[in-house]
Amino acid sequence: MIVILKPEAPEALVKDIVSHIESIGLQAHLSRGQFRTIIGVVGEEEKINPEQLKSLTGVEQVVPIMKPYKLASREFHKEDSVFEIPCPISGSVKIGGPHCLAIAGPCAAEDEEMVHQLAREVVAAGATVLRGGAYKPRTSPYTFQGHGEEALKWLRDAGKANNMPVITEVMDTRHVQVIEQYTDIFQIGARNMQNFNLLFEVGKTRKPVVLKRGLAGSISEWLMSAEYVLSQGNRRVILCERGIKTFETSLRYTLDLSAVPVAKSLSHLPVIVDPSHAAGDRQYVPALARAAIAAGADGFMIECHDCPSKAMCDGPQALLPDTFTHLMKDLTNIASVLGRKFSTTPKP
Amino acid sequence: MIVILKPEAPEALVKDIVSHIESIGLQAHLSRGQFRTIIGVVGEEEKINPEQLKSLTGVEQVVPIMKPYKLASREFHKEDSVFEIPCPISGSVKIGGPHCLAIAGPCAAEDEEMVHQLAREVVAAGATVLRGGAYKPRTSPYTFQGHGEEALKWLRDAGKANNMPVITEVMDTRHVQVIEQYTDIFQIGARNMQNFNLLFEVGKTRKPVVLKRGLAGSISEWLMSAEYVLSQGNRRVILCERGIKTFETSLRYTLDLSAVPVAKSLSHLPVIVDPSHAAGDRQYVPALARAAIAAGADGFMIECHDCPSKAMCDGPQALLPDTFTHLMKDLTNIASVLGRKFSTTPKP
Amino acid sequence: MIVILKPEAPEALVKDIVSHIESIGLQAHLSRGQFRTIIGVVGEEEKINPEQLKSLTGVEQVVPIMKPYKLASREFHKEDSVFEIPCPISGSVKIGGPHCLAIAGPCAAEDEEMVHQLAREVVAAGATVLRGGAYKPRTSPYTFQGHGEEALKWLRDAGKANNMPVITEVMDTRHVQVIEQYTDIFQIGARNMQNFNLLFEVGKTRKPVVLKRGLAGSISEWLMSAEYVLSQGNRRVILCERGIKTFETSLRYTLDLSAVPVAKSLSHLPVIVDPSHAAGDRQYVPALARAAIAAGADGFMIECHDCPSKAMCDGPQALLPDTFTHLMKDLTNIASVLGRKFSTTPKP
Amino acid sequence: MIVILKPEAPEALVKDIVSHIESIGLQAHLSRGQFRTIIGVVGEEEKINPEQLKSLTGVEQVVPIMKPYKLASREFHKEDSVFEIPCPISGSVKIGGPHCLAIAGPCAAEDEEMVHQLAREVVAAGATVLRGGAYKPRTSPYTFQGHGEEALKWLRDAGKANNMPVITEVMDTRHVQVIEQYTDIFQIGARNMQNFNLLFEVGKTRKPVVLKRGLAGSISEWLMSAEYVLSQGNRRVILCERGIKTFETSLRYTLDLSAVPVAKSLSHLPVIVDPSHAAGDRQYVPALARAAIAAGADGFMIECHDCPSKAMCDGPQALLPDTFTHLMKDLTNIASVLGRKFSTTPKP
């Protein structure tokens, strides 16, 4: 940590800060320049509350040196994390390192038949994990909010029928238990990236967590949210970029693909991309999915629907299974340019 | 709702859309231009799912005419809402219309004595509602997370001692009940603006709710979140602008003061401003507070601390009670230029 | 300047950097922490190109200590700058320190009569400087681009008739000379905040310059652009906040009123606000203008028009002279709460 | 164009608008809903100034139907534009349709030898166009501003020696002529995207123009700027995405790769990507370049340097020629997944 004082900071302040630093067992290095004095803190900087130092009159800036996250950081875990996710019937799929993961399915689990139908279609195209919403975060209180536990059952059954792990969103600390019973991966949505109590709760389970980046979440805040989960002992966190809010309104959000290599350089955790929610328009999903894999993403999450104009939510962004099948071929080829491979469904 | 077709949209699509519109009891008005056909929907547009129309190949754009919120909208409630908030001993304070509300107190309730001390100081300066955090949303899992129920008791007691209603943040659906017992106003923090289950839960209570705007929340989404609370029968929602994320990093967030007149023109609900969290630096809090009242805000929420460099959180933004006292005078004078008055604490 | 090395940086790099620093006459202070080495540079840090240091493999971050601007900085000029702007007939108006400046007039100078008519109306309401566009930056090449030199004459004559200095926008280095002949203040528009050659050219004149903040201009970049003008010897730069691009689309831009106290704390230059362009809608101009003065702005720039629905550009944001007259009273009262006064037109 | 009236709009306003529309030879279609009246304008909507309609009291919103750009629009030019750019000795390179273009070279042309050396290296790696700055837009007035005309000569000579067309930035209307003599492609930098006079000037030449997207430029505004060039008869405009300003600060800008498919769907013009300026850090350039080509970009512009830590500007983002050589192979392979090919240098 480096403490930069204002030009007019009195000598007494310098002494106070130095003795405060030393009183907690750290060392203070003074650098007196022409205009300002700078105090370097040597030792475990997490012992100091930077806000308290910044609150002192005469302190201009406090520059942390260490990253605020630890377990999520590549400094403490040099190698890429590789996770195995067990399939419901037999075998498992991998993500991380050379392994890419293809997650696909409907936005919402609308009824039993559609879930089974789509699961068959996406597994045939090469997806290995089935997505589907049971509890839906909707902007309006008057719209469809998901079929809840019933939908969880449809998803579990369709997962079993195709040997696909299932991922679904959890929005409420009170739902963690019931969702845990039916699904294989928790999804934390963008709007809940900083729902800290929810992060603690999924951190206490031992199921993998896909943590979407918030619409205003900096990469550093996103990794801090991952740290919430990791701090509870759950090591399988998968980061998911899905677009941020910017001034550009031609698509729903601005997909920040630089977040892929940046997050991967700061963290050992796998990073996937959800081009469907970013675009909000199926016309742009294939280009963004290709770009995501080319940027080094460890997989993707894509929404499909057999009849988008009847979809209960997010129809405009859903791919037809046919388009998805073609896209999956391109993605496989691009991955292979980078020396990577999509995990395949283990034959039961 | 207006449906704009692509230039190449076939006649069959036009017919399909028109008959769909008529089949649900609405009217379709066709406008055939040189390049495009436009279909106007006349009737209760909420009967139509715009996403389904947008999912059709050949549809370029769907423009809604009605606002997506109703109870929050000024169209359905022309006059400013004025709320009375009962004080713990006697009387009440008002917000809305000509009445402004001054909310002040510490970021976190750190211990019993500091809460009582600060309550006395802010009430002496002219604040009428006491703020204080018991459950704190913190970016890092390793930092102080609030004193929980104990802190709620300190706040309630300090509120009673000064006849001040108390406001505190609720972060988890599981905490709504306990917080309801001790406090007078729920605060929904910026990170939970779209925690829809939490909004439903506070909507089921009958205590006022201060709903902070999310860091990436558009004004329209903010009003939709208010609608979540209102839709459950709780009519006392107070909107609170507290800064949004932009490219500018000189302060923690960019306080969007245009949100005050815009939200007030779209909605009848009172709008207050939290300059402390927006600035993150006490040096700028007074200027932003003055600007907020001049922009027409119905009040403010400001953090104070007797010794910011010992504060357990957000010390850099806390005002000394003395500064707050001076500021309160300026704010009162600016309010009076606009023909408005701050509510005062009823004498018990 | 502080150079933070990566954990894996070799000792040889440390030595190289230290000897580079010493070779240009500066001192290097080493701080070796548990994980990283930090090198503090003591001396005139502008002698070092931080990009070259950052280009070295093994350097993680380079933190400048000094501000990149000098002449614009409050560190080198502690007191508020106060500028006198001569009026065409007699006397002058002041801006800075306790003096606020009211600038008003049409968006574009449309014809001779309207310019004269509006000048009379805004001066009657209390404005002291006349604004009006002769060269208009328009998003579309097919729309009205301004009446050029003819409009400059109308403005000069109307300015003389009312003893008002005139401000107009300059967009092209080739126009600096002709505009200088006719007007008293150059305006650099938001889109040209980083048109560096244009900044140099107006810096070579001795007429005051109103420098609008770019739509994506950070406060620091804005002050660097002011430095371009100042570096050529023209000391009368007035900063003008007029809204930035953010995700919020309810108004044309997001007016960043925190930029007022922030820029004023970093710089001695006066800061004014243009609420008209920020809002793009006259309904919100008065609230934003009041907030600007309450935030400490040294004045404003507002567009007026006698018949907005016939305006050749920006009609929706133009105030009727009558509304402006009422607003001016509020602004005067708010300024006086802050101990400030609007400059008045000297009687010829 | 659709005009949406406020609920309280009087009947007289409806009549006024309708007769105004009809008076200029267009048709008005009325749709009277339960709450609002909507007026559709049928005919050449560019005859109407939407701002004037929006200025009328009682008008809530004016929704344009037509895009504001024409020559840049895919509606008026269905097929991808393919441009041929003549090489200085013989033959030409192509961009657009199936042809991708690789542009590389130093940020600034620092001296004659380095320009020749880098030109040889990038052409060997597969680049076909040489970039290099002679006039540099710098944030600070105190830093290196480019070697001007001398640098233009170095670039021209190095281009001739390797049969590479040369691209360089133009920042000032006064420099268009001299730059035109020495180079083959004009580059308009991000800060000048809305320097409208400069756009007109390069539009009057007959050399291709690479138009970078501004840091706050919406895709629609970017296409309007292209329209400025096209409107003067210069049809060879190449759009270049290079990052926008957002709240995310881990890299210099946020590269908006969705702009590639979006701009290509709205326009027939080729779209390239500059990952160097977006990232500001060479570590991330390869991932972003791969993503750009995978997203469908028609080429790229990348900065290289033989010794980044001695570079006069932007060293941290410069690739070593060796890294560029490897990257070029990946890019060629990804392009071929999409059925595309990089243009190669014609043998003289």
pLDDT at A66 over 90: no
Distance between CA A321 and CA A299 in Å, rounded?
A: 18
What is the average per-residue pLDDT within C295-315?
94
Residue-wise pLDDT tens digits, A16-25: 999 988 988 8
Could you give phi then psi for residue B334, rounded to 5 degrees? -65, -40
> At C283, is the pLDDT very low, low, confident or very high (cuts 50, 70, 90)?
very high
- Residue C66, CA atoms < 13 Å, CB-side half-sphere: 22
**Which of D149, D132, D4, D148 is CA-nearest to residue D63?**
D4
A20 touches chain B (CB under 8 A): no
D186-214 residues labelled b (16+ CB within 10 A) or e (exposed): bbbbbbbbbbbbbbbbbbebebbbbbbbb
What is the average per-residue pLDDT within C10-38?
88
Tell me what ipTM this predicted complex has.
Answer: 0.95
pLDDT at A32 over 90: no
- A 10 A CB-CB count for B233 gives 11
Task: Pick the range with the lowest mean pLDDT from B33-37, B95-99, C92-96, C152-156.
Answer: B33-37
A4 touches chain C (CB under 8 A): yes
Distance between CA C127 and CA C87 in Å, rounded?
A: 13
Beta strand pairing status for B209-212 and B237-241? parallel
Inter-chain CB proximity D244 and A249 less than 8 Å: no
Note whether B130 and B165 are within 8 A (CB): yes
**pTM, to two decimals:** 0.96
Contacts of C251 in chain B (CB under 8 A): 258, 262
Best of C3, C4, C38, C256 to substitute, by most chain A Cβ atoms within 10 angstroms, is: C38
Contacts of D63 in chain B (CB under 8 A): 2, 63
- Per the model's pLDDT, the better-predicted residue between C42 and B213 turns out to be B213
Average confidence score pLDDT of chain D = 95
pLDDT given for residue C175 in this prediction? 97
Contacts of D290 in chain A (CB under 8 A): 294-296, 337-338
Inter-chain CB proximity D254 and A250 less than 8 Å: no
C219 touches chain B (CB under 8 A): yes
Give burial (CB, 10 Å; 0-12/13-18/19+) of C103: buried
Could you give phi then psi for residue D23, rounded to 5 degrees? -65, -20
Residue-wise pLDDT tens digits, C79-89: 999 999 999 99
Best of A21, A30, A31 to substitute, by most chain C Cβ atoms within 10 angstroms, is: A31
Could you give phi then psi for residue A185, rounded to 5 degrees? -140, 130
pLDDT at B284 over 70: yes
pLDDT given for residue C260 in this prediction? 98
pLDDT at B348 over 80: no
pLDDT given for residue C31 in this prediction? 86
Q: How far is A33 from chain C (nearest CA, A)?
A: 5
Both tokens assigned to A34: 């022409």
Residue-wise pLDDT tens digits, B212-253: 999 999 999 999 999 999 999 999 999 999 999 999 999 999
Q: Where are the beta strands (DSSP E) in chain C?
A: 2-5, 27-32, 37-42, 59-63, 83-86, 92-95, 99-105, 129-131, 166-169, 185-188, 209-212, 237-241, 271-273, 299-303, 341-342
Inter-chain CB proximity B260 and C216 less than 8 Å: no
Residue of B nearest to D249 (CA): B247
- Per the model's pLDDT, the better-predicted residue between A164 and B51 turns out to be A164
Distance between CA C35 and CA C47 in Å, rounded?
A: 29
Which member of A7, A34, A249 has the closest CB to residue C249? A249
Both tokens assigned to B331: 């704010």
Both tokens assigned to C31: 């701080």
- A 10 A CB-CB count for D15 gives 10
Beta strand pairing status for C2-5 and B341-342? unpaired
**Which of A321, A269, A270, A261 is CA-nearest to residue A291?**
A261
Regions of chain D where pLDDT drops below 70: 348
Which member of D7, D40, D42 has the closest CB to residue B75? D7
**Which of B171, B131, B126 is CA-nearest to residue B151?**
B131
Residue-wise pLDDT tens digits, A201-239: 999 999 999 999 999 999 999 999 999 999 999 999 999
**Which of A102, A95, A111, A171 is CA-nearest to residue A131?**
A102
- A 10 A CB-CB count for B249 gives 14
pLDDT given for residue C298 in this prediction? 98
3-state secondary structure chain D: CEEEECCCCCHHHHHHHHHHHHHCCCEEEEEECCCCEEEEEECCHHHCCHHHHHCCCCEEEEECCCCCCCCCECCCCCCCCCEEEECCCCCEEEEECCEEEEEEECCECCCHHHHHHHHHHHHHHCCCEEECECCCCCCCCCCCCCCCHHHHHHHHHHHHHHCCCEEEECCCHHHHHHHHHHCCEEEECHHHCCCHHHHHHHHHCCCCEEEECCCCCCHHHHHHHHHHHHCCCCCCEEEEECCECCCCCCCCCECECCHHHHHHHHECCCEEECHHHHHCCHHHHHHHHHHHHHCCCCEEEEEECCCHHHCCCCHHHCECHHHHHHHHHHHHHHHHHCCCEECCCCCC
C331 touches chain B (CB under 8 A): no
Query: Amino acid identity of C334?
Result: I
pLDDT given for residue B7 in this prediction? 86
Residue-wise pLDDT tens digits, A118-168: 999 999 999 999 999 999 999 899 989 999 999 999 999 999 999 999 999
- A 10 A CB-CB count for D150 gives 13
What is the H or E stretch that residue A227 is in?
A: helix A219-230
B57 touches chain D (CB under 8 A): no
**Which of A259, A326, A243, A324 is CA-nearest to residue A298?**
A259
Torsion of CA A190, A192, A196, A200, to 10 degrees: -90
B311 touches chain A (CB under 8 A): yes
Distance between CA A69 and CA B11 in Å, rounded?
A: 58
pLDDT given for residue D169 in this prediction? 98
pLDDT at C21 over 70: yes
Query: Amino acid identity of C206?
Result: R
pLDDT given for residue D33 in this prediction? 80
Query: Amino acid identity of C138?
Result: R
Inter-chain CB proximity A244 and B53 less than 8 Å: no
> At C348, is the pLDDT very low, low, confident or very high (cuts 50, 70, 90)?
low
A224-242 residues labelled b (16+ CB within 10 A) or e (exposed): bbbbbbbbbebbbbbbbbb
Note whether A106 and A303 are within 8 A (CB): yes
B172 touches chain A (CB under 8 A): yes
pLDDT given for residue C96 in this prediction? 98
Angle CA(B31)–CA(B35)–CA(B36) in degrees, nearest 5?
Answer: 40
Dihedral sign (CA D120, D122, D124, D130): negative
**Which of C123, C137, C139, C203 is CA-nearest to residue C168?**
C137
pLDDT given for residue B8 in this prediction? 86
pLDDT given for residue A147 in this prediction? 95
pLDDT given for residue D335 in this prediction? 98
Note whether D163 and D346 are within 8 A (CB): yes
Query: Amino acid identity of C87?
Result: C
B241 touches chain C (CB under 8 A): no
